[in-house]
Structure 1
């Protein structure tokens, strides 16, 4: 199998995109380390399903990240997927929310990467895959911290890729548009009520307004791209920001 003998740490992997990536890696033989929050019973079930370990570190805390990386051991594949969103105009944005978003969406990517790289370089092989967003390339109003951090992830990816270009370690980011996840689905009823719209109108005219395909990206599509980046055939792909947004950023 493609990832037999390799260890993959996927942050934010107890649901959504991260869980899909963890499943794809486990199916290809990787030893998966899950990270994320959730009900204890559900995390135990997922760990059993994937034959995975779970480390529930709070990634807004650098000391907790360091402890997680030490517990995880030498990592062959690091997927920085954990993130959060909060929406408000910048002059009304709670400062604690700004600090939290920067810590989780951007600073955590730095801390996990800096700690994973030495072992990857020593082995001459490694993959760092960062989940960015269409918002790493374009902006939307009322999302200043999210847009800023995702632009930061894209820039960080490029810089680290250049630093490690001859090491056998590739560093890339994937930038999805709107992805169909339980989190997105659960927003639909409130938006319907708030705007007086039908479910179809919310999906097509609000959530998918920017995506020309008028289709959500699926978590399995993102996972498949992450898996491809781990192949030897992808060794020349590094420092890339790979759009997966139904044409959003082509406009």
Structure 2
């Protein structure tokens, strides 16, 4: 299989996009390592489903905890920085603690995992770093200042490490989905309803899907398939790219 013998750490992989990527990579023979929070029994079932996958419930906003996790995980071939969170609020009311938390999880955590994974990839002469960005890494939406800033930041970070690591057989790319039907999206609907004084259906149709020309939510499995492609040998010269999978949102 395509990824036999490869070890893949996927952050935020106990649900949503990260879980879809983990499943796709496991189906191609990778040893997957899960990270994320959730119900213990459900996570245990996922571990069994994914061939006895290791799981780390590490708080990625805690630098010392990230360092401990990466040391225990050991050398990896594939790093998927996917963990993230969202908060919707006008900038003048945006909670400072939420700003700090979103930047720490969505952006700084990817820096810490990458700096710790890179030496092992360099030693092997092969590696794939895939960062889950967002359509909001390319365009902004109101009331999402921290999220927009973090995702624009992850796009720039990806370009930088793509240049730094290219000669070592390592690629770094972003995947930038539009709205994917995941807990992250579903959970922001009430805040958006409040911020925009809208009903649930109005938020879905007039905010979430209004710019996706397909008028469909992106499916997590589609993102998993793209992540697997980026690990193929045929993608060895796909480097520093920001892949849109957003139903045409950023085509405007």
TM range (shorter): over 0.9
Match of 2:64, SS state, is: helix
Q: Using the TM superposition, give the Cα deviation of residue 195 of structure 1 relative to its aligned residue in structure 2, in angstroms.
A: 2.7
Stretches of 4+ aligned residues off by more than 4 angstroms: 185-194
Structure 1: stretches of 5+ with no match in the other structure: none
Residue of structure 2 in register with 1:195 after alignment: 198
Within 5 Å, which residues of 2 pair with 1:229-244? 229-244=230-245
* 229-238 or 181-190, which deviates more: 181-190
Deviation per residue, 1:187-213 (Å, 9 max, x gap):
66887896346x4x5432232011111
Q: How many residues align?
A: 249
Match of 1:164, SS state, is: helix
Deviation per residue, 1:208-239 (Å, 9 max, x gap):
01111111111011110000000000000000
Residue of structure 1 in register with 2:48 after alignment: 48
TM-score by length of 2: 0.94
* 239-248 or 187-196, which deviates more: 187-196
Residue of structure 1 in register with 2:162 after alignment: 161
TM-score by length of 1: 0.95
Verify: 1:27 aligned to 2:30, yes or no: no
Verify: 1:248 aligned to 2:249, yes or no: yes
Structure 2: stretches of 5+ with no match in the other structure: none
Query: In 1, Cα distance between the equivalents of 2:143 and 2:192?
Result: 16
Query: In 2, Cα distance between the equivalents of 1:228 and 1:111?
Result: 25
Q: Using the TM superposition, give the Cα deviation of residue 185 of structure 1 relative to its aligned residue in structure 2, in angstroms.
A: 4.2
Residue of structure 2 in register with 1:172 after alignment: 173
Q: Using the TM superposition, give the Cα deviation of residue 92 of structure 1 relative to its aligned residue in structure 2, in angstroms.
A: 1.2
Residue of structure 1 in register with 2:151 after alignment: 150
Verify: 1:224 aligned to 2:252, yes or no: no
Query: In 2, Cα distance between the equivalents of 1:124 and 1:160?
Result: 15
Deviation per residue, 1:90-118 (Å, 9 max, x gap):
12111111110010000000000000000
CA RMSD of aligned residues (A): 1.7
Query: In 1, Cα distance between the equivalents of 2:131 and 2:175?
Result: 6
Match of 1:5, SS state, is: coil
Match of 1:217, SS state, is: coil
Change (3 A) 1:142 1:48: same
Query: In 2, Cα distance between the equivalents of 1:23 and 1:110?
Result: 24
Asked if 1 retains the 8 angstrom alpha-carbon contact of 2:85 and 2:184, the reply is no
Query: In 2, Cα distance between the equivalents of 1:21 and 1:145?
Result: 25
* 116-125 or 181-190, which deviates more: 181-190
